[in-house]
Amino acid sequence: MSRRLLDPSGYEGRALGPLAGLSAGAGEGATAMRYAVYGDLGSRDAIALVLGLDAMGLDFDFVAETPALSLALASRAGRDAGPYLRTPEGFVLGELAAILDHLERMHPDRPWRPTTPVRRICGRLLEDWIELWLPLWPERSAAIVEGLAAHLARSGFLLGRKPWRADAALAAWLEADVLVDPALRAHVEARAPGLIAFGTRVRAAVRGGGRGDAGGEKREVAAPRPGAQSVRSAAPADDDAIPLSLLAVLGELAHDYHGYLEANRAALAEGEERVELDLGFGPMVLPAWPEHEARRAAIGREIAGLPAATRRAVRQMLEPLGAWRALALPQAGGELELGDPRSL
C-alpha cells in the first residue's frame, strides 16, 4: 500500500479529468489503479477517509483541495463539501459514509467493519453516533469522553483489541473537533488523558497491519443475552462478542442519540423541520435531519435481513440497553415490503 501527497497548483482552472491532481510525470498506466482523495487533511471526514484507505491497504494519492478543484469536484460528485474520492475508474464520490460503503462493496476481501453480526451492528451504531450526534452537542460530549476513555483503557479500541471503522470516526472527531478547541482539550487532558493519543494509536494499528477480527483474544466480553443462539453466521470462526465495558457506552448512545432518532423520525413523518425533545437535560430544539433517518433505517434493514436466530441475538444484546426500539421502526415516509420482518 502506498500513498502520495500531491500539489494541485498546476491544475488550477483545468477540467477535472481522470488524472487530475496527479504528478505531471505519471502516465495513465501508472495511475489507472489508484484512488485519489481531495480534501483538507485537518477536516474530520478527510481524516476518517484516509484512515479507512490505509486500513484497507488501498493505494491512493492525497490532493489538497483548492477553490478551482472544489467547483469541479462538487459538480462531479453532487456534493458541496469534501472530501471527495476519485475512483480508479474516474468516478468522483462525495460524502464520507457513502464513500466508505462504496469501498466496502468494491473490496469485500478487505473489511473495515466487523464481519460478524453483533459486532458489525454495534460498530454501525457507534459510527453514526460519533459522526452525526457527538459534534452537535459539545457540552454533553465533554462528559461522554470520560466514559469512552474508561472503556478504551480496558479494551484498547471500541470493539476490542483491533480498530475498525468506528475507531477511525472517533479518532477523526477527537483530532478535528475536540483537541483543537482549547476548553475541550483541557477537559480531555484533565479527565480523559488517554484519548489525546488515540488517533496516533489507530494510525499505528492500521498502518502496521494490527487490525482485523479479534478471534482468539483473551478479554472480558459481553456475549448475547441468555437464551440467544449462536450468531456466528457470516464467519463461523470469528468471535462475535463485544467488550463488556462497551455496554456502558452503548447505554449512553441509546439514551441520547436513539432518543433523538425516534423523535426525528416522527417529525419527518409529519413534515416538520424541527425536533423538540427533552433527554433529561432540559428542553432542546434540533433540526429534523433526513440523513440521520436514512442511516437509522439502513441499520434496521440490515438487521431485518439477518437470519431469525441471528436477529434475535442482536436484539437481545441491544434491547436491554435501549438501543433497539429506534432500529425496529420503519423508515419515515416509506412502506415496508411484506417480506420484511418489521412489517409483522
pLDDT at 5: 64
- What CA–CA distance (Å, rounded) separates 72 from 14? 9
CA angle 289, 341, 235 (to 5 degrees): 90
Domains and CATH numbers, the chain: 3-106 (3.40.30.10), 117-332 (no CATH)
pLDDT at 334: 61
Encode burial over 51-74: b for 16+ CB neighbours within 10 A, e otherwise: bbbbbbebebbbbbbbeebbebbb
- What CA–CA distance (Å, rounded) separates 109 from 187? 40
pLDDT at 300: 97
pLDDT at 19: 38
Determine which helix (DSSP H) or strand (DSSP E) holds 63, and give its type and residue range: strand 60-64
- What CA–CA distance (Å, rounded) separates 212 from 41? 25
- What CA–CA distance (Å, rounded) separates 132 from 127? 8
pLDDT at 33: 66
User: What pTM value is reported for the model?
Assistant: 0.83
CA angle 145, 112, 104 (to 5 degrees): 130
Mean pLDDT, consecutive 10-residue stretches, the chain (344 aa), reads: 57 38 39 83 96 96 90 90 93 95 96 96 98 85 90 97 97 96 94 96 87 43 43 46 95 94 96 92 92 96 96 95 95 62 46
pLDDT at 91: 93
pLDDT at 141: 81
Alpha helices in the chain (DSSP H): 28-31, 44-56, 67-77, 96-106, 117-128, 138-155, 165-173, 182-191, 198-207, 246-253, 259-269, 290-304, 308-318, 325-328
Grid cell listed for 324: 433497539
Distance from CA of residue 101 to its chain's centroid? 10
pLDDT at 254: 95
Place of cell 456475549: 223
- What CA–CA distance (Å, rounded) separates 342 from 305? 10
Find the Cα–Cα–Cα–Cα dihedral 148, 159, 341, 315, rounded to 10°: -70
